[in-house]
Amino acid sequence: MLVKITSASQLSSGQLEKIKKAAIKKYGSDLQFVEKIDESVLGGLSIQVGSEMLDATLRAKIEGKDLTKESVGFVTTFGDGIAKVEGLDDVQAGELIDLGNGKKGLALNLDKKDIGIVALDSAEHLHAGSIVRRTGTILSLPVSDKIIGRTVDSLGVPLDGGEPIKADKMMLLERVAPGVMSRQSVTQPMQTGIKAIDAMIPIGRGQRELIIGDRQTGKTSVALGTILNQKGQDVICVYVCIGQKGSSLAQTRGILEERGAMDYTVIVSATASSTAAQQFLAPYAGVAIAEYFLGKGKDVLVVYDDLSKHAQAYREISLLLRRPSGREAYPGDVFYLHSRLLERACRLNEKHGGGSITALPIIETQANDVSAYIPTNVISITDGQIYLEADLFNKGMRPAINVGLSVSRVGSAAQLKAMKQVAGTMKLELAQFRELEAFAQFSSDLDDKTKAQLERGERVNAILKQGWDTPLSVAEQVVIIFAAVRGHLDKIDTNNIKEWEVAYLDFMRDEHAAILESITKEAKIIETTEAELEAAVKEFNNNSALVNSDNNG
């Protein structure tokens, strides 16, 4: 075993002899002594035996370090943010390592020969022979109520130029998901404010709903629209940016600030310029923040934008750590990477606070290929998916949701009865429309019934078009869908549907607010309200210049 003695000046032979006797007495006679003179220690000496170090130098005293035995390691190789270290006995997986110069690393590989450490920031001062130290701390970040409205990195360090966040609690980034006995069924809706989703692909509080599609199809817009719709809903939102451009994140924050959404939102940032380690840790930081508020009985919405880049960052780290690679060069535990993250989304029972974490992971596909490795993994973990199609987007459908391929496996249990009353008919109308639309391409001679079904389907499809930044309340969505499925839009040109919708909503808010209040209060359409709603739609259409009078009768 090597014993390294470091001092500011040459030790006398008597001093060396005393140190050697003490070391042999404690560690045995099989020792090899090396003396090193380092003027930077200023005075005193440090003794290192294997991975243990006793630092009694003047420099350590000036730096405020107590005379304690430390567990240290030696860097054997360092490059691309990965350090291979010998020593560090009893180090734990996921432990923070002091790399010196105020830099931290994360112990990921625990091999027999050495430890694989990922630098969490640029650690250019490291080289072969550098000393690193254990901290005894498992990776965690400081959280308090004051984190709301802030932009932080993967370790909770503010990036918005504000004050450091004082911790009410240190939250572990890696944590076991709540067990079955502490959960309850999903019964409360997480309203997105988007008609197509709330009506046909409903999301419940505590659900994990995947948003999937090619780039530039509006995935982030759907997630941001959902965050905007949580205003006044007593929901805390956490937006996790993984591998996105810094300019895109700045634009996102600007929108959230402008609309007042930062009053209940936290942004965790690991942009494309961040290290792979920070991108790898960002979603775990996001869910750790969510779990802090979950512990207070709050409902939390977490958006992971996006997990494709998260998997790529983890692949980069794994390959640099020389871990065995599998399909598409991803490591074998890439499924566990996302399953242990998304399983932490839940709805707790009243005994455990009754809070919930709803997860909206985003996955980017290539050329609509949902059968690729990462998309299929995440689809199998989540409780449904919202599929955004590039072809629909290019045709002008916003949001470009393919309702046929999208599904919510548990959200319908949380859907309000008022929405179920109108949405069930709408699903049927759309399904018939799609079937007939494909058939009609091969036939120019259609009977009147088929033409009527096609025209109805076109109008039902048209009302699903909606700007992502104009969320609607449930009552407003219900009265619009009611008008469409009851045939009140059949006499309106499809090009005028949007204009009709805006004028109709203004009419309902001004003239028939009681109907909207009844739907909101009762959460269903009662008989008297249904009759009043029917009469209100007819009244509006009779006075609207958008209704095509040629088709009357």
Q: Which helix (H) or strand (E) holds 224?
A: helix 219-228
220: CATH: 3.40.50.300
CATH number for the domain spanning 432: value is 1.20.150.20
Classify 29 as helix, strand or coil: coil
Residues 309 and 384 in one domain: yes
Q: Which of 409, 434, 456, 509 is flagged as catalytic?
A: 409
pLDDT at 552: 41
Residue 410 and residue 440 in one domain: no
> What pLDDT sits at residue 549?
57
Query: What stretches in the chain show pLDDT beneath 50?
Result: 551-553
Do 404 and 461 fall within a single domain? no
Q: How far is CA 372 from the centre of its chain?
A: 20
Distance between CA atoms of 301 and 206, rounded to whole angstroms?
9
467-487 pLDDT, tens digit per residue, is 989 999 999 999 999 999 999
Q: How many domains does one find in the chain?
A: 3
Domain that holds residue 491: 418-551
What's the pLDDT at 192? 96
Point out the domain boundary residue: 375, 390, 414. 414
CA distance 422 to 532: 15
User: Does residue 330 contact residue 339 with C-beta atoms inside 8 Å?
Assistant: no
Confirm if 79 and 37 have CB atoms less than 8 A apart.
no
Catalytic annotation present for 347 = no
Query: Taking the complete model, does pTM exceed 0.85, yes or no?
Result: yes
Residue 167 within any structural domain of the chain: no
Q: Are strands 2-7 and 44-49 parallel, antiparallel or unpaired?
A: antiparallel
| pLDDT for res 68 | 62
Q: Are residues 503 and 380 both part of a single domain?
A: no
pLDDT for residue 47: 82
Considering the domain architecture, whether residues 423 and 404 belong to the same structural domain is answered as no
154-162: list long-range contacts, CB under 8 Å, 24+ apart: 154/120, 154/268, 154/270, 154/274, 154/277, 154/278, 154/279, 154/281, 154/282, 154/284, 154/285, 155/104, 155/120, 155/281, 155/285, 156/285, 159/269
Left (φ > 0), alpha (ψ -120 to 50) or beta: where does 354 sit? left
Domain boundary (356, 390, 414) is at: 414
Rounded to whole angstroms, the Cα distance separating 315 from 330 reads 5
85 belongs to a structural domain = yes
Instruction: Identify whether residues 400 and 437 lie together within a single domain.
Output: no
The pLDDT of residue 551: 46
Place of tokens 């009893």: 90
Helices (H), 441-526: 448-463, 474-485, 497-511, 513-522
User: Residue 238: inside a domain, yes or no?
Assistant: yes
CATH code of the domain covering residue 80: 2.40.30.20
Q: 385 lies in a domain?
A: yes
> Is 200 found in the same domain as 311?
yes
Does 278 share its domain with 400?
yes
Query: What are the helix and strand counts (H, E) for the chain?
Result: 16, 21
Q: Are 349 and 452 in the same domain?
A: no
Q: Of 97, 123, 140, which marks where a domain is finished?
A: 140
Residue 437's pLDDT is 80
Residue 405 shares a structural domain with residue 464: no
